[in-house]
Amino acid sequence: MTDIKKGLAGVYVDYTAISKVNPETNSLLYRGYPVQELAATQPFEAVAYLLWHGGLPTDDELAALRATERAHRGLAPEVKAAIDLLPTGAHPMDEIRTAVSVIGATETAGITNVLDAVGTPAENLERSVRLFAALPAIVAYGQRRRRGLDPVEPRDDLDYSANLLWLTFGEEPDPVVVDAVNRSMILYAEHSFNASTFTARVVTSTLSDLYSAVVAAIGALKGPLHGGANEAVLHILNEIGDAANVVPWLDEALGQKRKIMGFGHRVYKRGDSRVPTMKAALDMLIAHYDRPDVAELYETLEREFVSRKGIYPNLDYPSGPAYNLIGFDVLTFTPLFVASRITGWTAHIIEQQSANALIRPLSEYNGPDERHVPGYVADA
């Protein structure tokens, strides 16, 4: 009998030098560096550089990346026009997927031979930096559009995370909040062959272009079993409302066999290595905004669920309430994940391209036996 690996669970499909997830030691390394060390010490731009180039940047290399990033921060008119065509009720993941598609069609206009679509690694690195630079304005535009606010212009005197906050809220960002956003961007940036990254690699393996791979990855990330979980966490926390309601809520939810969003992971079974760092950032925000009720609800649900099921929180559990405290719309949470993961996706697209093999697995057929269309007569 064929050994079917549903969901490719436990299957190694390729090598990668970008990150290492080790569930035994509960660790995550980006190019060899523990993610919690990077989150505590680096600006997100330096981690983006690390993922793309394999090493942390020198001061000059970081300055050069920042200069390019700042030069491409604006919301291009064709992207704004495309988003404006969508209903304001469109999910922002659909806005962002559309925006990347428009950027791709614009940047690759004139490439009419499909054999040239994939681009060189150098071209794809430049495209990656431009997408990385453009995404905060796209995410911010979506939130401001839903609130009936005009977009604000990017600020050249601000680093990536501070500018992202400025673009969203149009106010001078507080350093505590900038630090929390920076940490979350670093923690979300890369996670080996997760569903969206694998999707990007599948598309790249056909020699399609980087934008098509990113659009497909955004579609995969939207689902609540993957990136959509950070949005879904807020829905359940809002549903519970107060720490006093956790026990009866959980009794009912588990009785109905509901999945509790923000808990569980395909690879980590004893806890997600990114959670302690993001929980520390959440604690800073709780102190900053003086919201002990958030800590009480968070910790009560965690304690109750872990003691009943032995299933631990993943990164989306602390990042959902952190983004909520900052004032991002719940619908903006997964787009923020896109703004971060664009770095990991594009590093994988370039890596896939450098040692490509078409990704084309097999399936075991379990449909009807061969049968014939009534009245069909074979040609003589």
Chain residues in the site for ligand CMC (CB under 6 A): 7, 194, 225-227, 229, 259-266, 309, 311, 314-316
| Residue whose C-beta lies closest to ligand CMC | 264
32: left (phi over 0), alpha (psi -120 to 50) or beta: left
Any idea what DSSP says for residue 313? B
**CA neighbor of 136 nearest in space, from 112, 159, 111:** 159
Q: Report how far residue 285's alpha carbon sits from residue 180's, in angstroms, rounded to the nearest whole number.
A: 8
| Least spacing, CB of residue 252 vs ligand CMC, in Å | 13
Going by C-beta distance under 8 Å and a sequence separation of 6 or more, which residues neighbour residue 26? 268, 270, 271, 273
| Least spacing, CB of residue 115 vs ligand CMC, in Å | 34
- Which lies closer to ligand CMC via its Cβ, residue 46 or residue 282? 282
First to last CA, the chain: 38
| Least spacing, CB of residue 147 vs ligand CMC, in Å | 26
Catalytic residues: 265, 316
- Which lies closer to ligand CMC via its Cβ, residue 144 or residue 226? 226
| Least spacing, CB of residue 268 vs ligand CMC, in Å | 8
Sequence letter at residue 349: I
- Which lies closer to ligand CMC via its Cβ, residue 75 or residue 281? 281
Tokens of 69: 């990033």
Q: Report how far residue 89's alpha carbon sits from residue 153's, in angstroms, rounded to the nearest whole number.
A: 24
Q: Report how far residue 225's alpha carbon sits from residue 266's, in angstroms, rounded to the nearest whole number.
A: 10
- Residues 243, 297: contact at Cβ < 8 Å? yes
Tokens of 200: 């990007």
Distances in Å between the alpha carbon of 252 and those of 29, 255, 263? Answer: 38, 5, 17
- Which lies closer to ligand CMC via its Cβ, residue 155 or residue 266? 266
| Least spacing, CB of residue 282 vs ligand CMC, in Å | 16
- Which lies closer to ligand CMC via its Cβ, residue 73 or residue 265? 265
